Amino acid sequence: MTNLLELYVKLVFPVLVGYTLGRKLPAIVPTRLGQFLFWVGVPISIVAFLRKADLSGQIWIAAAIAHLAILLGAVFAWVGIKAQAHLTNTVPHKSTQGSFILAAMVGNTGYIGYPVTLSIVGTQYFAWALFYDLLGTTLGAYGLGVALAARYGGGIHSHLQVFKAIIINPALWSFGFGLLFRQVKIPAPVEFGLEQIAWSGVALSLVLIGMRLSKLTSWQSLPRASVSIGIKMLLVPLIMGSIIPLFGLTGTTARAIVLQMAMPPAFATLVLAEAFNLDRDLAVTTLAVGSMVLLVTLPIWLWLF
């Protein structure tokens, strides 16, 4: 309980700071902060935490589980849409269906998942969360996610642009560099400074979450958003978490994977909603509600796993 309260303080306080700043500072500030974290903060954090991560074992399984969880969320969302059509004789607009499916399948395994995993299981198991995010969520969001967004959205965007967005992702490049940099010995003071910069990047990520939440004011899609969040944050983690031992994962390793699966919908869903003319209100609502629901669901997953 003490550790959980400490985690809530670490998570909630920076978010509240960001929320307060987001309502007072110009809209350009969170945009610039997001760009800084994307190009500098998150890559440095990945390099620093990889130096202490345990890469032994079949760590690639994390990415495979991530893709299974993404597909399972998409299937449940599709079934939910069909069930609504059958029970109510109403079919949501295609743009709404697209946002609904995306929110149910892609989680915020980076900006929120990293801090949660690091705080609960430590840097030793960070690599499992990293593989889950970079080789699972990122590829899922900008691979299958883009395909679905194009299918349900108002227009087809250039697939070449999507491919370029994946290739130039600095997190993927820092991941490769971090694997090589693990073998380089550096002085203890430099190591300490690098670690402090990395944790500062984590804190700023949470501040950015608060800034973006301060801009989310739409609640009209709450009922539909609740169903999507239920699939993403309850149903999928419960099912996948129950079968994780079949992959040979137990203990703290399994916990690290479950925590990533249980994250709220990713900000990538809003990016795709805006790019492909999906239901932006639904995307906005799932982000806001999912971030708050995490405070309730987190102790449940820690208790179950």
Contact 269, 287 (CB under 8 A): yes
Contact 64, 41 (CB under 8 A): no
Task: Please list the pLDDT of the chain residue by residue as tens digits (305 residues).
Answer: 657 788 888 888 998 999 999 999 998 998 889 888 888 888 899 899 888 888 877 888 999 999 999 999 999 999 999 998 888 888 889 899 999 999 999 999 988 999 899 888 888 899 999 999 988 998 888 778 878 888 888 655 566 766 766 677 788 888 889 989 988 999 999 999 999 999 898 889 889 888 888 877 767 788 999 999 999 999 999 999 999 999 999 999 999 999 999 999 998 888 788 778 889 889 888 988 998 899 999 999 989 98
Query: Can you name the CATH fold of 2-304?
Result: Na+/H+ antiporter like fold (1.20.1530)
Q: Where are the domains of the chain?
A: 2-304
3-class SS at 290?
helix
Half-sphere exposure of 30 (CA within 13 A, CB side): 24
- Rounded to two decimals, the pTM is 0.86
Contact 234, 43 (CB under 8 A): no
Contact 165, 139 (CB under 8 A): no
Q: Tell the burial category of 159 from Cβ atoms under 10 Å away from its Cβ (0-12, 13-18, 19+).
A: exposed
Most distant CA atoms of the chain, gap in Å: 67
What does the block give as tokens for 225? 């958003």
| Residues 157, 263, 20: CA angle, nearest 5 degrees | 90
